[in-house]
Amino acid sequence: MFLNNIDYLVIAAYLLVLVIIGILLCKKASGSLEHYFLGGRKLPWYFLGFSGMATWFDVTGTMIITSFLFLLGPRGLFIEFRGGAVLVLIFLLAFTGKWHRRSGCMTAAEWMQFRFGKGKDADAARLLTAIVSVLPILGMIGYMVKGTGLFLSMFFPFEPNTCAAVLLAIAVLYTMMSGFYGVVISDVLQATLVFVAAIVLGVIAYNLIPNSATISALAESVTGNTNWTAFRPTMYAQMPPGSEYDVYRNLGMAAFFYLVVAVIVGGSSGAEPRYFAAKSDRECGKMNILISWLISVRWPMMMGLAVMGLVLANQTFTNMEEVSTTSEIIRSYFPDLAKPDWHQLTTRLVTHPDAFDPTLIKALEESLGGEWANKLPLIGFEGIVDPERILPAVILDLVPIGLRGIILITIFAATMSTFDSTLNAGSAFIVRDIYQKWFRRSAGKRELITASWITTMAFAIIGFFVGIHFSSINEIWDWIIMSLTTGLFVPGLLRVYWWRMNGWGVAFGLAAGGITAVTQRILIPDIAPWWKFLLVATIAIVATILGCMSTKPTDRDTLVDFYKRTRPFGVWGPIRKWLTPEQKTYIQEENKRDLISLPFAFLYLITMYMLPMQLIIHRFDAFLWTLPVFILSCLVLYFVWWKNQRQDRDMQNEPDLRHQ
């Protein structure tokens, strides 16, 4: 079931190389906080592009997206409008990335003072942003811990939590030593390996099936889905009844809802290290195009894994009844077993069968046959083939030994790069926006770097315990996106597009949203995703408006300075009157181009994901329908957006009418 000694040596060698890189970069990263968190703002755009791709590529996300593709086929893409499809990228590409780059800030919390000035409301907004931003970062670490443990326990003779703890410890050591430089270096390495893995898995999957009819019949026998090869969104989809995935059977409603959420999240995006670190607007554009190309590669990779998963499940089980029967047997022996403990238990059954009741082991042999230990990891708590374990099972059983090492190193690189970038971002909030701002303004370089190390370790420890208390990676991702992130982005949206928004509005909205998200998880954890979103969004928006309208507006000169530098569209009429006619025209033209490009950026991204997936499942007819849409969207983006990308124009010293 597990790896051979050569595989273990290759993995150990890779992790050793990462540690050596961290040691070599330690001195460079310790030059200052700007070097530690932003690479000194001197990294080229293509390095930042690799880093951007890695932010959205991790083993946990790959496992959950593969799960939906395994269950639904290409239509699984529409459920991943909630995050895995990275729709936020179209906003970053069109305008939000360059808007935030123009600030010259280091963190999203520091940006609040750029937006609201030097008053108490700006301080409150910065402090609450730093505090509340910690919550989704801890959630993300927990999310990665959950997925990493499930993945690695398929390859190593240890329980999921043990596997996750070891890799997290390595990531902490690497991040502490190398800072943002190490984040980018590991991201470049990961992106290179992903290309190799995507090609390998795509070719293997394509050659496994002769035509689309074959894969359709195979998918129906394994998942019960009779419309698996469809690529257009439908109102309803077949999902395993009684499972946590059943909530997504209303596919049309889920896709529309997640699209709305993506607009809210995307419209307020951009306050990220790689955009603060970019050198110019034009380099922001180059970086986002590169990210889109790189991130699209993982979709054929995951579709290949899903197809191979169907083949593996069909080969492993005589029929799907033995899957449900085995689950019932185990739960009858452990009637109090909760879903979060399922994988821990099944891993112990495989690795230490002598520690359990012999009658249970005999029952498993009667249900699954002599190879029960190899089959058991694929069985889920609800009595279905566990979609979240398809990825590691396929790598273990269907990828040839020579290629398996490449795939495994790719997954390790993805996991490491996401761990280190998340830890780095979380540490920046605590050190820059809380410790240095409120407690130690005079702290020296060495003290601040030491504080960064301590907070990195603290994030890792707390995030680990968050992860082990969730039942599945789908559950924790759903809570992060629908609840935690909503509390951040609802007030964040208004701060960019409405002149009347002030720091108190942001502070009230963030506090209310963060408290509601945590309370929801504690008191009503099992409500549907849309109710989580509506609950948190409603409370956050009410608190934001109340906090804003009950306090005085931001200082006019601060708003004019912000608007001239950032140049967003939205409700800025009272501020625009302080600009010259030439400045207004310049900004209007830029905003118009950006808005026209947005829907075509959406089509460009979605069709770029869909085209290779259609090829892998032999849907050549669908490919010929999708290709013209992709070409049209590329042409519009080129002529409307790319040809008009200019170097940033500094309006700060241009004449205006404020003092006339």
Residue 70's pLDDT is 94
Q: Are 101 and 288 in contact (CB under 8 A)?
A: no
The structural domains of the chain, ordered by start, are 5-314+399-585 (1.20.1730.10), 318-384 (no CATH)
pTM exceeding the 0.85 threshold for the entire prediction: no
Is the predicted pLDDT of residue 232 greater than 80, yes or no? yes
Q: Residue 651 pLDDT > 60, yes or no? A: no
- The answer to whether 164 and 464 have CB atoms below 8 angstroms apart is yes
CA atoms within 13 Å, Cβ hemisphere of 467? 28
CB 468 within 8 A of CB 340: yes
292-333: per-residue pLDDT in tens? 998 888 899 899 999 999 999 999 988 888 999 999 999 999
187 has pLDDT over 80: no
Average pLDDT over residues 81-85: 86
545: CB partners within 8 A, 6+ apart: 505
The beta-strand segments (E) located in 543-583 are none
Residue whose tokens read 């409405």: 498
Cα separation, 551 vs 541, in Å, equals: 16
- Residue 164 near residue 466, CB atoms below 8 Å: no
What residues contact 284, with CB distance under 8 A and at least 6 apart?
A: 45, 97, 98, 101, 275, 278
**Predicted pLDDT at 190:** 67
Higher pLDDT, 441 or 112: 112
**Other beta carbons less than 10 A from residue 155's beta carbon:** 20
The pLDDT score that the predictor gives to residue 21 is 67
What's the confidence (pLDDT) of residue 185? 64
Cα–Cα dist 341/159, whole Å: 11
The pLDDT score that the predictor gives to residue 506 is: 87
pLDDT digits over 382-418, tens only?
888 888 888 888 888 887 776 777 777 777 666 666 6
- For tokens 């811990």, what's the residue? 145
pLDDT, tens digit, 9 for 90 and up, residues 478-493: 777 777 777 777 788 8
Query: 545, 535, 466: which is closest to 509 by C-alpha?
Result: 545
Give the SS3 label for residue 133: helix
Structure tokens at 118: 């030097």
CA 234/CA 181 separation, integer angstroms: 44
**In this structure, how many other beta carbons lie within 10 angstroms of the beta carbon of residue 157?**
14
Q: What is the DSSP letter of 248?
A: G
pLDDT digits (tens, 9 = 90+) for 324-359: 999 999 999 999 888 878 888 888 898 888 989 999
CA 565-594-284 angle, 5° bins = 60
How many whole angstroms separate alpha carbon 201 and alpha carbon 189?
19
- Cα-Cα-Cα-Cα dihedral of 557, 562, 564, 569, to 10°? -120
152 or 317, which is more confident: 317
pLDDT of residue 31: 47
Residue 656 has pLDDT above 50, yes or no: no
Q: Give mean pLDDT, residues 442-458.
A: 76
Residue tagged 């909630």 (tokens): 82
